[in-house]
């Protein structure tokens, strides 16, 4: 019996279903490249410091609310603050929503801007960019890997804020059923699910910032300059978003609909601004992602 006859139909099917060795090696290489990028990013002291600051914000807010309201009673000696203070005091789960609202205008986008701004420029400044491109990754795939790493940091940073707020809220305040903005009651489990959904929406709201930072990172070989420029643009856009005379332009600013995640705490949920926010982020990601690709593919890495 020949060697070909020894292969059963099942064996031939198994061989036919196996990917070509080149495809398998390429997939393994890209997976390894992404893992290495994640490992490098999350091992940096700068990244750990940013995550520590983000985790500290909900703790500080929770302690401030606890002190300001004079304990668990929102009508205590100092319990004349805004309405959200009373909500946090009555249910610690509201600290998750408050912490995300407090960090989204500045702390979260600043952290994303630092990581995205350093993605390409930092490699160029350190002299490692040319060695990365010697590998068979190619500029396009390397850029996509960098962007995926930044987006992973977006998700991790948002979850750090949410988990820190949930833990602080559970330690300082009671947990239980909660009242939505519309005045209806939902169970704690449903509220927890909405908190997770809100965290995911907040992370998705940073897609445009990540693409903007990556584009800026391709324009310079200085990581510090790229980070400073990205953070400066974030601050400028948010200032412009508060000027009444620019109301016609404000719906096109990437930060305009950031706080629309509060609509997830309504019953029924208001989806209009949420959809506008996600669509706007996708538009910014497409525009600045394309600009980053055009710039990076033409970038002289030997200079």
pLDDT at 10 over 80: no
Distance CA 41, CA 144 (A): 15
CB pairs under 8 A, 24+ apart, for 68-74? 72/173, 72/174
Residue 246, domain member (yes or no) = yes
Give domain status of residue 158, yes or no.
Answer: yes
Residue 15 pLDDT > 70: no
Q: How many separate domains does the chain show?
A: 1
pLDDT digits (tens, 9 = 90+) for 211-241: 999 999 999 888 889 889 998 999 999 899 9
Cα–Cα nearest to 208, from 254, 161, 151, 258 = 254
User: Is residue 201 domain-resident?
Assistant: yes
Residue 50 — pLDDT band, cuts 50, 70, 90?
Answer: very high
Per the structure, the complete domain to which residue 93 belongs is given by: 30-297
pLDDT of residue 121: 86
- Assess if residue 261 is contained within a domain: yes
Question: Token pair for residue 296?
Answer: 């990076």
DSSP H or E segment with residue 185: strand 185-186
Is 252 inside a domain boundary?
A: yes
Determine the Cα–Cα distance for residues 212 and 221; give it in Å rounded to an integer: 16
Lowest average pLDDT, out of 13-17, 29-33, 284-288, 295-299, goes to 13-17
Cβ atoms of 205 and 285 closer than 8 Å? no
Locus of tokens 């701004």: 117
Report d(CA 113, CA 119) in Å as an integer.
Answer: 10
Residue 137 pLDDT class (50, 70, 90 cuts): low
99 is a domain residue: yes
Q: What is the pTM of this model?
A: 0.83
12 inside domain: no
User: Which pLDDT value is given to residue 302?
Assistant: 60
The answer on pLDDT for 74 being more than 80 is no
Residue 289, classified by CB atoms within 10 Å of its CB into exposed (0-12), middle (13-18) or buried (19+), is buried
Q: Look at residue 118 and tell me if it is in a domain.
A: yes
Using alpha carbons only, give the angle 292, 155, 202 rounded to the nearest 5 degrees. 90
CB-CB contact of 58 with 107 (8 Å) = no
């Amino acid at each position: 019996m020949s060697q070909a006859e020894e292969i059963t139909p099942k064996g031939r099917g198994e061989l036919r279903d196996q990917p070509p060795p080149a495809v398998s090696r390429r997939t393994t290489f890209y997976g390894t490249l992404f893992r290495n990028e994640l490992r490098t990013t999350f091992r940096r002291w700068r990244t750990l410091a940013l995550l520590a600051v983000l985790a500290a914000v909900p703790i500080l807010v929770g302690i401030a609310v606890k002190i300001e309201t004079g304990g668990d009673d929102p009508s205590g000696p100092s319990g004349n603050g805004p309405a959200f203070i009373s909500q946090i005091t009555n249910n610690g789960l509201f600290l998750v929503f408050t912490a995300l609202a407090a960090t989204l205008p500045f702390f979260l986008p600043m952290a994303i801007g630092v990581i995205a701004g350093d993605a390409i420029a930092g490699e160029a400044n350190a002299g490692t960019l040319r060695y990365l491109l010697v590998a068979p990754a190619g500029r396009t795939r390397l850029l996509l890997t960098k962007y995926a790493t930044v987006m992973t940091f977006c998700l991790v940073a948002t979850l750090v804020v949410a988990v820190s707020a949930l833990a602080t809220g559970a330690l300082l305040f009671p947990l239980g059923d909660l009242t939505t903005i519309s005045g209806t009651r939902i169970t704690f489990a449903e509220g927890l699910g909405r908190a997770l959904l809100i965290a995911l929406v907040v992370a998705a709201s940073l897609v445009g910032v990540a693409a903007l930072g990556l584009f800026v990172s391709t324009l310079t070989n200085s990581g510090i300059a790229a980070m400073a420029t990205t953070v400066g643009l974030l601050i400028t856009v948010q200032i412009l978003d508060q000027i009444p005379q620019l109301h016609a332009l404000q719906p096109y600013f990437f930060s305009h609909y950031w706080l629309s995640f509060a609509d997830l705490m309504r019953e029924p949920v208001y989806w209009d601004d949420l959809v506008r926010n996600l669509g706007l982020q996708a538009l910014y990601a497409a525009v600045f992602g394309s600009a980053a690709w055009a710039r990076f593919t033409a970038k002289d890495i030997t200079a």
